[in-house]
Structure 1
């Protein structure tokens, strides 16, 4: 067991730049691609993710200082500091559950594939930290490693099923063949966005009316292009925070580059995934007659849609306003504030690229995120102390917006009941598998939920 743990610990330390190409190549070989084609596919996807990360660094480089200025302008003085997802991930992997999480979740995934309970092969190993986080906080509260492991497994099972049902919408809206998104936080937003989408369909002002990027492009012409939207948005933000002419111009160009380059990087990822997707289809048709598998990827690939990144940038001041006015909030958004696009990544495919639906839904979800991030703050702080985590300067309590998810909360509430809670967790995941039986897609699930 120690050998297995050390092996996967070594693999996780290689980082996503190495892990993703290796995992893609392995999947390609499993689907009978030639060695060279499998390696090329893996390297191409890896290059796409390198490009994606380089472009996303623009957000942190240029929006990071903006968020600091906005926090000062709003004069926010809250008791808990948002340490950001890197801190939350490092903390989650440092727990006893986190140490074994990679081989354990791979085993859960394999068992679900063998029993035909999922179509998703989750190769997004780095983001297993979300499952480790759920297990880690449960272990902190219950004092039981095994309850923590059960909670992590439940989160992973739910993630795989939600990835399955939302896969077609993701593929259609983003043009990503054979892909699903099992990322531990992204899937927690899907039920919320599904419910909100049904509500919008019943509202007079929203019914049969969708404002997507294509509609905006047609109406505004050149000014409706993502590049120009980014430029204007950057200039407006620069003026709002009091930048001088040079800083404002730089921010405008950076946001224009972000809007133009993100979709291009996603296309590079697609180029690598197409041979894998074709190989998977051929493999399944020969052996399983019509069965299909999805490659589970990081929700970062969804940021290639102009709607997602535009709304994500607009949500930065929205999140700060919510932090200021919500009575239950104790969290100062900071570490994850520049990554607000990740919180609405799944809203774009579920709302079919509708700008206003995504913006409204994103605002609601940011309120939910703040609520759960504030709730988890004492537990995360205690877990951090137990693992020897180094706190940010001046912070007595820490949390992370990316850790503020309701699925971890529900599983934690059950786990507090010890043995009875363990039974309830098993019933919850079993009920989820039963509800989404027979490979329902998002439309079928929404129909059944709306009846």
Structure 2
């Protein structure tokens, strides 16, 4: 145990710019990736982390004072800056937990496949950051690395369970065979969607086919509308929102327009830094996919994908635009909200992609569910803002302003973290026991589920054979 403690301490002492690239390169080599590609991939990830920190410096330099001004001038209790999921991902990978999350999750996925507790082969390595965020938040609360990693595994176990059980519906609605969505940020959408879908049915909507899905042609027209294109474009969106918010916060014209430019830069640069980071993980993801496929040659197997595969659906295309003004309006009226929506607005489509799957493309249902989901996410993200800020500080993100500004994001992954966050705040031991119970329960339930599926398939095949 002392050896492990010393090992983790030594690795984490390197700092994220060395620690994370080193781990990525070693993982690549371990999974038989070309050494040159593995090393280059690790360095590329490090470059992405540097770039993300540079982009995030915009928050402290320009948006922090605006948040303070809003609180004072507009009588709005909005003291939390929304840095978006892209920033959260860089923060999550920059912690001690983040450096070890990729090998941990790959090993966990292989074990789950080996014991028959999942049919999903998750090749979406980049999105392991959701588990890194969960683990990092619990680590900050408990100061216990083991508890943080255990929480990350509990998060993953639940996601694998949901991915397997929703795979057929995902394939049907999105139109891509053989996939599932083991995306760590989708739990909230599944919860809200599957709670509300029976309610919508009970109220009678859609039973006789009155509620229709939007056509591809109409969706494209809306997407191509010049006004809507401006609203959705991160550059215009950032500039307009930044300028307006700064004016509301009592800033002069020069400062307000400069803030608009800063917010446009934040929304434009951050996704590009994430893209660089993702490029570094591509060769490792490919090597890992090859090995995992070889280990699972027989039986049904789903390829785990990012929920981004659902963004091209016509309903999602429409609601990703409508959700932007909806989210801005919600921030002013939702009780308990402290967040100024900024960076997450450009990613509203991600917050309805799986709701769309649950509601099978029905526009009205998906829009209403998305509105409820966003309202609840604002509250959860506000509650967790102090700890998210603490995680950011532990990953090396610093503020240059004397005024202390909290950060958070309107991110679905917080739905997975929030229950564990509450449990570990009550008592660390209770939280750890619950995480272990969640993992065991998921494994047992999955094995029972797949056993019943096999029995049903066998009985069906037998019945068909008798008929012939």
- TM-score band w.r.t. shorter chain: 0.5 to 0.7
| 1:438 is aligned to 2:446 | no
Q: 111-120 or 75-84, which moves further after superposition? A: 75-84
Q: Distance in 1 between matches of 2:336 and 2:146?
A: 32
Distance 1:321 1:79 in 2: 16
5 Å-filtered alignment, 1:122-271, equals 122-209=122-209, 211-213=211-213, 216=215, 224-232=217-225, 234-235=226-227
Work out whether residues 119 and 292 of structure 1, in 8 Å CA contact, stay in contact via their aligned partners in 2: yes
Structure 2 residue matching 1:295: 3-state secondary structure:
strand
Residue 300 of structure 2 corresponds to residue 307 of structure 1: no
Of 406, 422, 443, the match for 1:397: 406
Structure 1: runs of 5 or more not aligned: 27-67, 218-223, 248-276, 445-451
Structure number with larger C-alpha Rg: 2
User: How much does 1:9 deviate?
Assistant: 3.5
Contact 1:135 / 1:149 at 8 angstroms: preserved in 2? yes
Relative to the length of structure 2, the TM-score reads 0.65
How far 1:350 sits from its partner (Å)? 1.2
Length-normalised TM-score, structure 1: 0.67
Deviation of 1:420 after TM superposition, in Å, equals 2.7
Q: Distance in 2 between matches of 1:176 and 1:10?
A: 35
Q: Secondary structure at the match of 1:170?
A: helix
Q: Secondary structure at the match of 1:308?
A: helix
Rounded Cα–Cα distance in structure 1 between residues aligned with 2:392 and 2:295 = 45
Instruction: Measure how far apart 1:391 and its partner are.
Output: 4.4
Residue pair 1:415, 1:425 contacting (<8 A) in 2 also: no
The question of whether the paired residues in 2 share the 8 Å contact of 1:88 and 1:403 is answered with: no
- Asked whether 1:381 is paired with 2:389, we answer yes
Q: Distance in 2 between matches of 1:356 and 1:163?
A: 25
SS in 1 for 2:81: strand
Q: Which residue of 1 aligns with 2:420?
A: 411
Q: Is the 8 A contact 1:127 1:298 kept in 2?
A: yes
> Could you report, residue by residue, the CA deviation over 1:191-223 in whole angstroms, capped at 9, with x for unpaired residues?
22111111111112343436444x646xxxxxx
Query: What CA distance in whole angstroms lies between the structure 1 residues aligned with 2:223 and 2:168?
Result: 28
| Cα distance change on mapping 1:239 and 1:302 into 2, 3 Å | closer
Q: Which residue matches 2:59?
A: none
What secondary structure, in the 3-state scheme, does the structure 2 residue paired with 1:169 have?
A: helix
1:231: how far off? 2.4
Matched, 1:322 2:330: yes
CA contact (8 A) 2:20 2:94 kept: no
Change over 3 Å in CA distance of 1:403–1:359 after alignment to 2: closer
- TM-superposed CA distance for 1:304, in Å, is 1.3
Q: Residue 428 of structure 1 aligns with which residue?
A: 438
Closer, same or farther in 2 for the Cα pair 1:212/1:124, shift >3 Å? farther
| Residue 353 of structure 1, CA deviation | 0.8
Given the superposition, is the C-alpha separation of residues 174 and 415 from structure 1 closer, same or farther in structure 2, using an over 3 Å criterion?
Answer: same
Task: Give the C-alpha shift of residue 120 in structure 1.
Answer: 0.7
**Distance between the aligned counterparts of 1:173 and 1:422, measured in 2?**
37
**In structure 1, what is the Cα distance between the partners aligned to 2:440 and 2:155?**
12
Query: 1:83 is matched with which residue?
Result: 83
Contact 1:200 1:207 in 2 (8 A): no
Root mean square deviation of aligned Cα: 3.6
Which secondary structure state, in structure 2, belongs to the residue aligned with residue 402 of structure 1? coil
SS at match of 2:398: coil
- Of 389-398 and 414-423, deviating more is 389-398
Deviations 1:403-428 (A, max 9, x none): 66222111222233222321122223
Name the CA distance, whole Å, in 1 between partners of 2:417 and 2:219. 35
Query: Taking structure 1 as reference, are residues 402 and 110 closer, same or farther at Cα in structure 2, changes over 3 Å only?
Result: same
Count of residue pairs brought into register by the alignment:
341
CA gap of 1:77–1:173, structure 2 versus 1, over 3 A, is same
Closer/same/farther in 2, CA of residues 414 and 225 from structure 1, 3 Å limit:
same
SS at match of 1:90: helix
Distance in 1 (alpha carbons) for counterparts of 2:112 and 2:405: 41
CA distance in structure 2 between the aligned counterparts of 1:13 and 1:115, rounded to whole angstroms? 28
Taking the aligned partners of 1:325 and 1:96, their CA distance within structure 2 comes to 37
Query: Residues 148 and 349 of structure 1: is their aligned pair in 2 closer, same or farther, counting only changes over 3 Å?
Result: same
